[in-house]
Amino acid sequence: MSVDVIGEIWTELKRYINVVDRADAAESIVSVLIDHDIDADEIRTWFKGDSDIKTALSDYLASDSESDEYEEEEEEYEEESDEEDWD
């Protein structure tokens, strides 16, 4: 399914979602798109006028970046521990 079809579905269904629940729904849409290898830039392009999707995408990218930083720190710690074991 292409991003444009999902965009149309989101636009149609969004009006039936309570305002307080839209952020969670947008996060779900972004997660599904990312899980199906849709690039963040493509999501931005198709949903450029939708503040809920833009916020959800920004949050997703921020949490993904934090996760990458944590993994890098963990790898550095493991490398340091391995080097100490050899001394």
* 87 vs 83: CA distance, rounded Å: 7
Q: What is the pLDDT of residue 4?
A: 83
Provide the token pair at 26.
């947008």
Q: Is the pLDDT of residue 51 over 90?
A: yes
Q: What is the pLDDT of residue 42?
A: 93
Q: Of 7-11, 38-42, 53-57, 68-72, where does mean pLDDT reach its minimum?
A: 68-72
Question: Would the pLDDT of 83 be above 90?
Answer: no
Backbone angles phi, psi at 49, to 5 degrees: -95, 5
- What pTM does this model have? 0.70
Write out the H or E segment, with its range, that includes residue 81. helix 51-86
